[in-house]
Amino acid sequence: QKEVEQNSGPLSVPEGAIASLNCTYSDRGSQSFFWYRQYSGKSPELIMFIYSNGDKEDGRFTAQLNKASQYVSLLIRDSQPSDSATYLCVGYSSASKIIFGSGTRLSIRP
Amino acid sequence: DAGVIQSPRHEVTEMGQEVTLRCKPISGHDYLFWYRQTMMRGLELLIYFNNNVPIDDSGMPEDRFSAKMPNASFSTLKIQPSEPRDSAVYFCASRPDSSTLRAQYFGPGTRLLVL
């Protein structure tokens, strides 16, 4: 089992809808998680981070963390074609080792 | 503030040649990371430094790869001799400190093609 798992997609969502990206992790001691967006041919760009149970909102983005169920999610409201990218879920293990998920490809169709 | 700077942005070389990739981290960041990204393997951590000292190089694929950080503002990743399977995008990233509440910030990457 990978330490941080994501569905590779592609996830296709109509423009204006909510895109839901999910990530599960195996190390129960993991403390914090980050979501990066990576456009094709570009470097990963930080969108959100979360370390407390519950929701954290920033504009159209909401990160959710459920430590009991060991999952992290990213919701994108009012999806735009410019949101089409690969989204990487990243966590720190209990040993402070950074673990990258393999990424989910999101496609917003007009 | 300037972000992480990498050079060159693109490199095309022939098998057997030496390749040197360069990175300047964000000023004041104590941690520097080198990654390789391919379609097949995704993003792989090669090595990281703390205060210019290599901490974990377990991701370095083989002895052909070496990395140095002579000072806080400069690091190199060298491949010698290069092979076609080294073709990938190489990212450098930096982080302010050891806190796991701190994110890494990536440079634009170096796209390497070994013919």
- Tally of CA atoms within 13 A in the half-sphere of A8 that contains its CB: 5
pLDDT > 90? residue B89: yes
| Nearest one of B88, B83, B113 to B16, comparing CA atoms | B83
Q: What is the CA radius of gyration of chain B?
A: 13
| Nearest one of B12, B15, B36, B31 to B112, comparing CA atoms | B12
User: What's residue B21's pLDDT?
Assistant: 98
| Contact assignment for A43 to B98 by CB distance below 8 Å | no
Distance between CA atoms of B37 and A66, rounded to whole angstroms?
29
β-pair partners for B21: B77
Preferred mutation among A34, A43, A45, A65 to probe B, highest tally of B CBs within 10 A: A43
Q: Which H or E element spans position B69?
A: strand B65-71
Structure tokens at A30: 């993991």
- Tally of CA atoms within 13 A in the half-sphere of B30 that contains its CB: 8
| Nearest one of A104, A90, A103 to A3, comparing CA atoms | A90
| Nearest one of A19, A15, A109 to A73, comparing CA atoms | A19
User: What's residue A98's pLDDT?
Assistant: 87
Sign for the CA dihedral angle at B98, B101, B102, B104 comes to positive
User: What's residue B82's pLDDT?
Assistant: 97
| Closest chain B C-alpha to A32 CA, distance in angstroms | 6
pLDDT > 70? residue B52: yes
Which residues in A have their CB inside 8 Å of a CB on B? 31-32, 34, 36, 42-46, 49, 51, 88, 92, 96, 98, 100, 102-103
pLDDT > 70? residue B1: no
Q: Which of A43, A49, A51 is nearest residue B106 as measured by Cβ atoms?
A: A43
Burial A5-37 (b: 16+ CB within 10 A, else e): bbeeeebebeeeeebebbbbbebeebbbbbbbb
Low-confidence stretches of chain A (pLDDT < 50) are none
Mean pLDDT over each residue of chain B, to the nearest integer: 95
Largest CA distance in chain A: 43
B11-31 tens-digit pLDDT: 999 999 999 999 999 999 999
Collapsing DSSP to helix, strand or coil, B86 comes out as helix
Helix and strand numbers, DSSP H then E, in chain A: 0, 11
Backbone angles phi, psi at B61, to 5 degrees: -65, -40
Q: Which residue has the higher pLDDT, B42 or B25?
A: B25
Cβ-Cβ contacts under 8 Å, A100 against chain B: 42-43, 45
User: What's residue A1's pLDDT?
Assistant: 62
Cβ-Cβ contacts under 8 Å, B91 against chain A: 43-44
End-to-end CA distance of chain A: 36
| Nearest one of A72, A76, A79 to A101, comparing CA atoms | A72
